[in-house]
Protein backbone atom coordinates (compact mmCIF):
# COMPACT_ATOMS: atom_id res chain seq x y z
CA UNK A 1 0.00 0.00 0.00
CA UNK A 2 1.54 3.31 -1.02
CA UNK A 3 1.76 6.22 1.40
CA UNK A 4 -1.10 8.28 -0.12
CA UNK A 5 -3.53 5.36 -0.07
CA UNK A 6 -2.57 4.53 3.50
CA UNK A 7 -3.12 8.14 4.59
CA UNK A 8 -6.51 8.25 2.83
CA UNK A 9 -7.56 5.03 4.56
CA UNK A 10 -6.51 6.33 8.00
CA UNK A 11 -8.22 9.68 7.35
CA UNK A 12 -11.44 7.87 6.46
CA UNK A 13 -11.47 6.35 9.96
CA UNK A 14 -11.06 9.72 11.66
CA UNK A 15 -14.20 11.13 13.25
CA UNK A 16 -14.04 14.42 15.08
CA UNK A 17 -16.01 14.76 18.30
CA UNK A 18 -19.10 16.92 18.16
CA UNK A 19 -19.26 20.32 19.74
CA UNK A 20 -21.29 20.67 22.92
CA UNK A 21 -24.53 22.56 22.37
CA UNK A 22 -23.27 25.33 24.70
CA UNK A 23 -20.46 26.16 22.25
CA UNK A 24 -21.15 29.41 20.41
CA UNK A 25 -18.63 30.72 17.89
CA UNK A 26 -19.95 34.26 18.27
CA UNK A 27 -19.91 34.36 22.07
CA UNK A 28 -17.65 36.74 23.93
CA UNK A 29 -14.94 35.70 26.35
CA UNK A 30 -17.26 36.69 29.22
CA UNK A 31 -19.65 33.91 28.15
CA UNK A 32 -16.88 31.30 28.37
CA UNK A 33 -15.49 32.59 31.66
CA UNK A 34 -19.02 32.48 33.07
CA UNK A 35 -19.42 28.89 31.85
CA UNK A 36 -16.10 27.95 33.44
CA UNK A 37 -17.16 29.41 36.78
CA UNK A 38 -20.55 27.67 36.54
CA UNK A 39 -18.81 24.39 35.72
CA UNK A 40 -16.62 24.58 38.79
CA UNK A 41 -19.20 25.91 41.25
CA UNK A 42 -22.46 24.38 40.02
CA UNK A 43 -22.42 21.87 37.14
CA UNK A 44 -19.63 19.58 38.39
CA UNK A 45 -20.87 19.56 41.98
CA UNK A 46 -24.54 18.94 41.10
CA UNK A 47 -23.77 16.17 38.61
CA UNK A 48 -21.38 14.46 41.02
CA UNK A 49 -23.79 14.68 43.94
CA UNK A 50 -26.39 13.00 41.76
CA UNK A 51 -24.25 10.40 39.98
CA UNK A 52 -21.58 9.53 42.55
CA UNK A 53 -23.25 10.62 45.77
CA UNK A 54 -26.65 9.10 45.06
CA UNK A 55 -26.82 6.74 42.06
CA UNK A 56 -23.42 5.03 42.37
CA UNK A 57 -23.88 4.56 46.11
CA UNK A 58 -27.43 3.25 45.58
CA UNK A 59 -26.53 0.58 42.99
CA UNK A 60 -23.23 -0.54 44.60
CA UNK A 61 -24.87 -3.10 46.95
CA UNK A 62 -26.59 -4.81 44.00
CA UNK A 63 -23.88 -4.47 41.33
CA UNK A 64 -20.63 -4.26 43.28
CA UNK A 65 -18.13 -1.43 42.95
CA UNK A 66 -17.17 -2.08 39.32
CA UNK A 67 -20.76 -2.65 38.22
CA UNK A 68 -21.87 0.52 39.99
CA UNK A 69 -19.18 2.57 38.25
CA UNK A 70 -20.04 1.13 34.81
CA UNK A 71 -23.81 1.45 35.29
CA UNK A 72 -23.53 5.00 36.58
CA UNK A 73 -21.20 5.91 33.71
CA UNK A 74 -23.63 4.53 31.12
CA UNK A 75 -26.40 6.59 32.65
CA UNK A 76 -24.13 9.64 32.85
CA UNK A 77 -23.29 9.35 29.13
CA UNK A 78 -26.93 8.78 28.20
CA UNK A 79 -28.13 11.98 29.86
CA UNK A 80 -25.50 13.92 27.90
CA UNK A 81 -26.80 12.69 24.53
CA UNK A 82 -28.96 15.78 23.82
CA UNK A 83 -26.03 18.12 24.50
CA UNK A 84 -23.73 16.35 22.02
CA UNK A 85 -26.15 15.39 19.28
CA UNK A 86 -25.33 18.53 17.31
CA UNK A 87 -23.92 16.97 14.14
CA UNK A 88 -23.81 13.35 12.97
CA UNK A 89 -24.42 10.13 14.83
CA UNK A 90 -20.71 9.29 14.54
CA UNK A 91 -19.54 12.55 16.11
CA UNK A 92 -22.13 12.33 18.88
CA UNK A 93 -21.13 8.71 19.58
CA UNK A 94 -17.45 9.66 19.82
CA UNK A 95 -18.26 12.50 22.21
CA UNK A 96 -20.37 10.19 24.35
CA UNK A 97 -17.52 7.66 24.50
CA UNK A 98 -15.33 10.45 25.89
CA UNK A 99 -18.04 11.38 28.43
CA UNK A 100 -18.40 7.71 29.38
CA UNK A 101 -14.62 7.38 29.85
CA UNK A 102 -14.55 10.54 31.99
CA UNK A 103 -17.36 9.13 34.11
CA UNK A 104 -15.48 5.83 34.53
CA UNK A 105 -12.48 7.77 35.84
CA UNK A 106 -14.61 9.91 38.15
CA UNK A 107 -16.42 6.81 39.40
CA UNK A 108 -13.15 5.01 40.05
CA UNK A 109 -11.73 8.02 41.89
CA UNK A 110 -14.87 8.13 44.00
CA UNK A 111 -14.64 4.40 44.76
CA UNK A 112 -10.97 4.76 45.71
CA UNK A 113 -11.26 7.84 47.94
CA UNK A 114 -14.99 8.00 48.80
CA UNK A 115 -14.74 11.76 48.61
CA UNK A 116 -17.50 13.39 46.58
CA UNK A 117 -15.91 16.83 46.98
CA UNK A 118 -12.80 15.56 45.20
CA UNK A 119 -14.77 14.29 42.19
CA UNK A 120 -16.85 17.49 42.18
CA UNK A 121 -13.65 19.50 41.86
CA UNK A 122 -12.13 17.25 39.20
CA UNK A 123 -15.34 17.29 37.16
CA UNK A 124 -15.80 21.05 37.47
CA UNK A 125 -12.21 21.83 36.49
CA UNK A 126 -12.34 19.32 33.60
CA UNK A 127 -15.48 21.02 32.23
CA UNK A 128 -13.99 24.48 32.74
CA UNK A 129 -10.83 23.57 30.84
CA UNK A 130 -12.88 22.22 27.93
| Mean pLDDT in residue range 23-36 | 81
- Torsion angle defined by CA atoms of residues 78, 29, 17 and 82, in that order, rounded to the nearest 10 degrees: 30
Question: Which residue did the predictor score with more confidence, 24 or 44?
Answer: 44
Closest CA to 15 of 82, 97, 80: 97
Residue 8 has pLDDT above 60, yes or no: no
The CA-CA-CA angle for residues 24, 29, 30, to 5°, reads: 105
How far apart, in whole angstroms, are the C-alpha atoms of residue 126 and residue 14? Answer: 24
Question: Which residue did the predictor score with more confidence, 94 or 55?
Answer: 55
Residue 10 has pLDDT above 50, yes or no: no
Q: Model's pTM, two decimal places?
A: 0.79
Mean pLDDT of the chain: 86
Amino acid sequence: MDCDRQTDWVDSLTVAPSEHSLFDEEATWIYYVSLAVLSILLIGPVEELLFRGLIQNYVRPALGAVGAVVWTSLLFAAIHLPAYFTDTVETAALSLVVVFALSLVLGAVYERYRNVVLVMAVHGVYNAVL
